[in-house]
Copies of this chain bind each other. A is one copy, B any other.
Amino acid sequence: MPTSEFDLIYRYFSSLGAGPAVDLSVGDDCAILRLEPNERLATSVDTMVEGVHFPEDMFPEDIGFRAVSVAASDLAAMGARPIGMTVALTLPEADEFWINTFSQGIAQAVSEYRLPLVGGDTTRGPLTISVQVMGALPADKALLREGAQVGDLVYVSGTLGDAAGALAFLNGEWHPEPDAAEFLLQRFHRPRARVELGRELLGKATSAIDISDGLLADAGHIAAASGVSIDIECGRVPLSSALNSHPDSESKLKWALSGGDDYELCLTLPEEVPTPEGCTRIGRVTKGQGVKVDQDIDFTAGYQHF
């Protein structure tokens, strides 16, 4: 990409790189980050491709914010303290309006998650955003998918199915009231990674995962890694009032169980631990394997990711 375009991007992004763990930010061959003594590094990468992971008409500010949230959600699911990220951005053209607006979304996420942007690469090509997040964990603790114990209770944060409801609205399959539509779109465009909740759960939860592919799929990863069954009571699965305004109770339950892109946490806690703030108990860990639900639901006409 010609230097002038690098300059353009550098101008927008170079102010986002400061943080307590950052010794050296954008501008040399590598960034340098510091961990505290007795900490370990948690890291994950997530890629979003236009037309595959988000619609082609999505506002660039939302694309930027959402790409960081999706990656930061993996730090939340490990209980890690964010320390920095890199963004690899492939762009069809360096449109100044696009870069400016996209960078505002990135900047909002940097601030929201205290996740400084310490490095990146900008290349020419079809719009693709890879966000690599780095966080710090105590040497002896992490929220893993394994560790759920028979008898533990199963919780989720927030409400589920909102992103799926938003997609149904965007696809013209459902016409919610304006307030509900606005709420659902906000949930899809601006998911919030549960970073603070993850850190509070560290040392308490016996397992955790973020819900990116849908509750059943992601709870299934906990069940498989822990060698247990996750039994879900459908009546307990928390729905937003916006999603609850949908007239068909089976549709909305299906979205809550199998819709992805909500980026809430699913976690297990010993029975004696109080319910964490913002979480809802939805079931129990039992002997066995896989995920069981207490209703007979036909998922063959299931939700597809965007």
Contact = CB atoms under 8 A, between A and B. Distances in A.
A87 to B, nearest CB: 8
Interface string A99-135: 0000000000000000000111101111010101111
A75 interface: yes
A48 B128 CA distance: 12
Contact of A44 (B31, B126, B128, B139): B31
Interface string A136-154: 0101001111000000000
- The copy count of this chain in the complex is 2
Interface stretch (A32-40, A155-163, A179-187, A246-254): A32-40
Given A52-B124, A77-B29, A88 B41 contact: no
A88 B47 contact: yes
A210 B29 CA distance: 8
A41 B45 CA distance: 17
B123 A78 contact: no
Interface residues on A, range: 35 or more
A272 interface: no
A33 B40 CA distance: 6
Contact of A29 (B30, B31, B49, B78): B78
A43 interface: yes
Q: How would you classify the secondary structure of chain A's contact residues: helix, strand, loop or mixed? A: strand
A209 interface: yes
Contacts of A121: 45-47, 130
Contacts of A225: 27-28
A90 interface: yes
B47 A31 contact: no
A130 B47 contact: yes
Contacts of A41: 32-35, 41, 134
A204 interface: no
A132 B27 CA distance: 16
A42 interface: yes
A9 interface: no
Q: Which 5 A-B pairs have the closest CB atoms?
A: A49-B125, A29-B77, A30-B42, A88-B130, A130-B130
Given A28-B145, A29-B208, 5 more contacts: A24-B144, A27-B225, A29-B210, A45-B88, A130-B132
15 contacts: A29-B44, A30-B135, A32-B41, A33-B41, A35-B40, A43-B119, A45-B88, A47-B88, A49-B124, A51-B125, A53-B123, A86-B132, A88-B88, A126-B128, A128-B128
